Amino acid sequence: MVAVNSHAPGSAEPQLAEIRDRALGATSVPIALLDATASDLPVVWVNDAFQNVTGYGLDGARDRYREIFADTGLSPARQDVVQSVELPLADGTSVTFRAYLSPVRAGTDGAVTHWVAALQDPGAAGSHQDGAAAVESERRERRSLNLIAQVSDLLMDVDDPHALREIAALLRRSVVSWAAFYLNDGGLRVADGIDGGHPPTGKGTRHGDVRGAGVPGHDAVQQLLDAELDRPVELDLTGSYGGGSASAWLTHHAAAVPGVAEGQRVLVFPLPGRRRVLGVLAVQGPEGAGLHALEPSVRTVLELTARRVGMVIDNARLYDREHRLAEALQRAMLPEQAEVDGLDVWTYYAPNSDNAQVGGDWYDVLQVSPDVVGVVIGDVVGHDVEAAASMGQLRSVVRSYIFDLTTPGPVLERVDQLIAGMRVPRPAGLVLSTLTRRDDAWRLEYSRAGHLPVLLVRAGAVTQLDAAGGPLIGFGGGPRATGAIDLQPGDVLVYYTDGLIERRDRGLRDGLDALCAVAAAVTARDAAGVGEELLSRLADHPEDDVAVVVVRVPSPLDQVERARSPRRRRWSLPSEAASIGRARHAVLRTCHAWGIEDAANAELVVSELVANAVLHGFGHVSLQLYDTGDGLRIEVEDGNPAPPVTTDGHPGRVGGFGMQIVERLADWGWRQSRGGKLVWAKVRPGSLPPSGR
């Protein structure tokens, strides 16, 4: 500007003007000064950046760019102009620049004397835009990765009853306006948790419960569930769908949810498993956006979430099916509560429900003859279907031979030979014993194959029967020893597997010492009481399967001392219909043993509680009975944390009155437990209350 303007006399202004000239010349922005007094707007000054970009200095720019800026629509009335200007360069090419033109006015009359033209290199502009786009793309990718990581964290706890609800809430907070999961269990239903193959009931309506009478139409949701479509679909909330269809049910349910925008679309993503679609993820995009309007990163997050949820559900159900199969195999091979002549016998078995594992622990109590009783306890290595199958094979072999031979050592020798030939894939340890009655006295013979010793409790002293030891079954290859001891009235034998005593924080030897100490302090005078004391002290939090058999030789003082036994019993039952009958039988037998008369009410109450646990819960069912002195307290625990509900029955089908029956016969309540819920009822035995109660 110094080249075309004069400055007033003074000491400061010439110095400042010189600095401005140097600054404009040194800037990296291409700048040219145009003479506004001439019609063709000639270039009268350029800086170094202008020359570097165009290849022309002042003289070349004045010749080449005459009248080029004159077509930009400049007028004295305008303040700033932004125009695209195509300039020929010195290398023979042409480039379109974005020109920012600002007027330079005279000091007094405001007349425009010059125009300042600042050029923006299109390459630099594109680079800036590309950089901004890259930053935004990275931000979206980071958000997407963070969301997927949070979803993965939530899916790690498959037992969380609200995992899917929390994932839907996470999606609502981040990328969509509404989201919900629906699982397909004979019809769509709202899902809060993964459920692991045990879908809860009583959680609202379910598609398929009631079929509509309308004419079936296009059902895109059903096509997703049938795997006829492998891409997400859109549902119009105001659309018309065939009566009773999955699409009609889903749109009706979604439209009734607070916060779902009416008259807009719902996007439905399948939850794929290995062989079938397990359900759907329904979302509403921002402002009801359709699939094509979703950001690619948002759609990717939704599809990955749906796939991960589907695979986790499938894995949970696959593991649960294997667990149930192994448990059914194992329980089918375990005997019921043993009843033998002349001995008091109590048995107990519970798998490690905390880790949902099933092992090869088993026991057997056999009435070989009127005067011979066989007792076996063993453990096959492993916690899976193969372990349970191996246990079944071994148990059958032992049962077969013990009826031919009553001496344990030779029986195990035969078992070794046969098991080696059968190629049973898992090693196993066991204790085989026989109790023989001679002149009203009992003699114990036993042989151990790599198993922990049986305990003999006599008058408060504990002896480990650790003689007659040998290698694991199948590894014998030689004679097996037989130990023997004469029993006295009141003697107690405790058979057990290592799950009763083994813990991560202590060794097996320390656990055995703890068991001996507890057994020595037992005050009970019946086999069930002894077993209950052992379990209450040692098996509250087992880390492995537990099998226990307690055998007690009756004593003439039993009737006098029976009152000293704890009045508590427990059973671990599989979640199957047959457990209802077992629970009723257990209550009747216990009431008889405790002298509780007229146990009809208790039988009915326990039947309803266990039935609810089997039908509406999941996991193992734990049954406990307590004699409170003025009645019988029944506790039933299952893995479903949802509370029991008193209803007036279910329309259209039998049932639904169970808790009303319990309420009529007992005081009852419930509480959350470590693994689900516990429902209790206190029954006062007697006749049924009058109908007006």
For residue 224 the two structure tokens come to 């997703």
CA distances from 621 to 193, 354, 477, 616 (A): 20, 13, 42, 11
Q: What percent of the chain shows pLDDT beyond 90?
A: 22
Instruction: State pTM to two decimals.
Output: 0.54
Nearest Cα residue to 363 out of 382, 335, 390, 385: 335
Distance between CA atoms of residues 496 and 519, nearest Å? 12
Question: Is the pLDDT reported for residue 76 higher than 50?
Answer: yes
Entry field: residues in the chain: 693
Average pLDDT score over residue span 536-551: 78
Q: What is the pLDDT of residue 215?
A: 45
Sorting pLDDT into bands at 50, 70 and 90, what band is 691? very low
Residues 344-385 have pLDDT tens digits of 888 888 776 544 445 678 899 999 999 999 999 998 877 666
Q: Give the per-residue SS3 of 211-273.
A: CCCCCCCCCHHHHHHCCCCCCCEEEECCCCCCCCCHHHHHHHHHHCCCCCCCCCEEEEEEEEC
Classify residue 90 by burial, with Cβ atoms within 10 Å: 0-12, 13-18, 19+: middle
32, 48, 54, 85, 500 from 58: Cα distances, Å: 9, 10, 11, 18, 98
Of 240, 283, 242, the closest CA to residue 259 belongs to 283
Non-local (6+) Cβ contacts of 77 within 8 A are: none
Q: At residue 491, does pLDDT exceed 90?
A: yes
* Residues 596-637: tens digit of each pLDDT: 877 888 899 999 999 988 888 777 788 888 887 778 889 999
Task: Give the residue from 284, 244, 278, 277 showing the smallest Cα distance to 263.
Answer: 284
How high is the mean pLDDT of the chain? Answer: 80
DSSP 524: -
Please give the Cα distance from 579 to 635 (Å, whole number): 15
The Cα 419–Cα 533 span in angstroms is: 36
Lowest mean pLDDT among 92-96, 310-314, 555-559: 555-559
CB 280 within 8 A of CB 223: no
Predicted confidence band of residue 73 (pLDDT cuts 50, 70, 90) = low
DSSP-assigned letter for residue 471: P
Q: Residue 75 contacts by C-beta under 8 Å, 6 or more apart in sequence?
A: none
Instruction: Enter the DSSP assignment of 506.
Output: B
d(CA 272, CA 312): 10
Q: Give residue 268's Cα distance to chain centre.
A: 23
Q: Which single residue is written with the structure tokens 């699982």?
A: 183
Q: Which tokens sit at 99?
A: 């020109």
- What is the predicted pLDDT for the residue at 213? 42
Non-local (6+) Cβ contacts of 88 within 8 A are 64, 94
Predicted pLDDT of residue 157: 80
What residues have CB less than 8 Å from 513, skipping those under 6 apart? none
CB-based contact 448:415 (threshold 8 Å): no
| 151, 308 Cβ separation under 8 angstroms | yes
How far apart CA 73 and CA 82 sit, in angstroms, is 10
Q: What is the pLDDT of residue 255?
A: 84
Give CA torsion, residues 549, 471, 475, 375, to 10 deg.
Answer: -20
Which residues contact residue 674 at a Cβ distance below 8 angstroms, ignoring those fewer than 6 apart? Answer: none
Please enumerate, as own/partner, the contacts of 406-409 that have beta carbons within 8 Å and a separation of 24 or more: 406/368, 406/372, 406/374, 406/434, 406/436, 406/445, 407/434, 407/445, 407/482, 408/432, 408/433, 408/434, 408/445, 408/446, 408/447, 408/468, 408/480, 408/482, 409/447, 409/468, 409/479, 409/480, 409/481, 409/482
Q: Is the pLDDT of residue 492 over 50?
A: yes
Q: Give one word for 153, left, alpha or beta, with left for phi > 0 and alpha for psi -120 to 50.
A: alpha
Higher-confidence residue of 289 and 462: namely: 462
**Residues contacting 389, CB < 8 A, separation 6+:** 329
| pLDDT confidence tier of residue 4, bands split at 50, 70 and 90 | very low
Q: 408-452: per-residue pLDDT in tens?
A: 999 999 988 888 777 766 788 999 999 999 888 999 999 999 999
The whole-angstrom separation of Cα 627 and Cα 98 is 93
Q: How much is the pLDDT for 374?
A: 94
- Structural domains of the chain, with CATH: 27-120 (3.30.450.20), 130-322 (3.30.450.40), 337-565 (3.60.40.10), 567-693 (3.30.565.10)
496 has which bridge partners?
A: 548
